Amino acid sequence: MSQRAAPRTWSYTRFQQRFAPYLFVSPFFILFAIFGLFPLIFSLFLAFHLWSPLDGVGNWKFVGFENFQLALGPTDMFWKSLKNTVWIGLLSGIPQHLVALPLAFIIHHSLRRFQGTFSTILFLPYITNAVAIAIVFATLYSERLGILNYLGGQLGLDPVRWLGDPNLVPYSVAAVVFWRYVGWNTVLYLSGLQAISEDVYEAATVDGANGWQKFWYITLPLLRPMMFYAFTLTIVGSMQLFEEPFMLLNDGGGSGGAGLTSAMHIFNTAFRDLDMGYASAMSWLLFLAIFTLSMLNNYLFSRDGGNR
């Protein structure tokens, strides 16, 4: 008798063993179909149409690439908002990493006993409410009544319009973003440093490497994957910056729109002006910008011997 040919009797035990994993992973796919895939396709569809939710389903007008042309043209705020976003991103992002890396290095090498305490304190800004913090910073920035101008006054400086001067607005917003995320990056780098084995350093010491050489030839290369990860998060996050400028400057982005980010502009277009097609087109353009910057970051990190 062939064992194989024998029909297996149906048993609940075997049935549920086979299908349990599919059942367990299914919620994600069901939710993604409803709240992810379908909406994404719909949003791509809308990007080529003129439509407001008030027009009702089905009453959209095909406009081809008009939405994209409008966004990239000179009459709209989209380009300006994109430039604002990148500029604020650079102003907050570069200092974040320039400060976080040395801080992590100091905590790791010189303050080992207090690592937990320092990382908890530095991590605090990351978990707090952006709206609440923006209100606190808005009061610090207040032109006539804020602490910053008070302290400046004590030093004999003229009051500064932190949130009123279009030239200063990007810096004021970037400072809040910097404050919120520098600790998060420090903690990331710290955990990257902790993952590097002491043996490597000891071997280098035996070979006569000095402190600087160890940092340049061991720490930095081995920290590459973490730096890549941290950079990626910073890029993706800064390109979607919304809450801080929205709260500090109102939805228009302050005088001259100097603090209007792309996320704010898309939000206004979609939910204030109800121009869903145009807003969808802009959100895809922003997606493209984020994608391009991420690829650029990827390229910079995978070049010359980074074997991640």
Instruction: Write down the least CB distance from residue 54 to other proteins, Å.
Output: 11
Q: Looking at residues 13 to 32 of the shown chain, list those that interact with other proteins (rule: CB under 8 A).
A: 13, 16-18, 20-22, 24-25, 27-29, 31-32
Contacts of other proteins in 56-85 (CB under 8 A): 57
Q: How many CB atoms lie within 10 A of CB 200?
A: 14
Q: Of 172, 301, 282, 137, give the one whose Cα is nearest residue 235.
A: 301
Binding of other proteins by 4 (CB under 8 A): no
CB of 301 to other proteins, least distance (A): 12
Instruction: Kindly indicate which of the ranges 64-72, 87-95, 109-117, 298-306 contains the residues binding other proteins, using the contact rule CB under 8 A.
Output: 109-117
Q: Which two tokens stand for residue 301?
A: 């990190």
Q: Judged by CB under 8 A, which of 130, 168, 200, 209 binds other proteins?
A: 130
Tokens of 49: 């149409």
CB of 1 to other proteins, least distance (A): 28
- Contacting residue, 63, 71, 77, 188, with other proteins by CB under 8 A: 188
Instruction: Count the neighbouring beta carbons within 10 Å of the beta carbon of residue 39.
Output: 13
Residue with Cβ nearer other proteins (79 or 252): 252
The residue within the footprint of other proteins, chosen from 135, 220, 296, 300 (CB under 8 A), is 135
The strand pairing partners of 50, in sequence order, are 61
Site stretch for other proteins (CB under 8 A), options 3-11, 89-97, 133-141, 297-305: 133-141
CB of 17 to other proteins, least distance (A): 6
Q: Which is nearer to other proteins, 74 or 92 (CB)?
A: 92
What would the two tokens of residue 215 be? 């940092």
How many other β-carbons are positioned within 10 Å of the β-carbon of residue 120? 11
DSSP β-ladder status, 49-50 and 61-62:
antiparallel
Q: Please give the size of the binding site for other proteins, defined by CB under 8 A.
A: 98
Residue 75: CB minimum distance to other proteins, A: 22
User: Of residues 198-257, which lie at the interface with other proteins (CB under 8 A)?
Assistant: 198, 202, 205-206, 225-226, 228-229, 236, 239-240, 242-243, 247-250
CB-nearer residue toward other proteins: 78 or 141: 141
Stretch that binds other proteins, among 69-77, 187-195, 212-220, 296-304 (CB under 8 A): 187-195
Q: Which of 59, 69, 287, 306 is in the footprint of other proteins by CB under 8 A?
A: 287
Question: Restricting to residues 252-281, which ones interact with other proteins according to CB under 8 A?
Answer: 263, 266-267, 270-271, 276, 279-280
**Angle (nearest 5°) at CA 144 between 140 and 150:** 60
Backbone angle region of 27, left / alpha / beta, with phi > 0 → left and psi within -120 to 50 → alpha? alpha
Interface with other proteins in residues 155-184 (CB under 8 A): 163, 179, 183
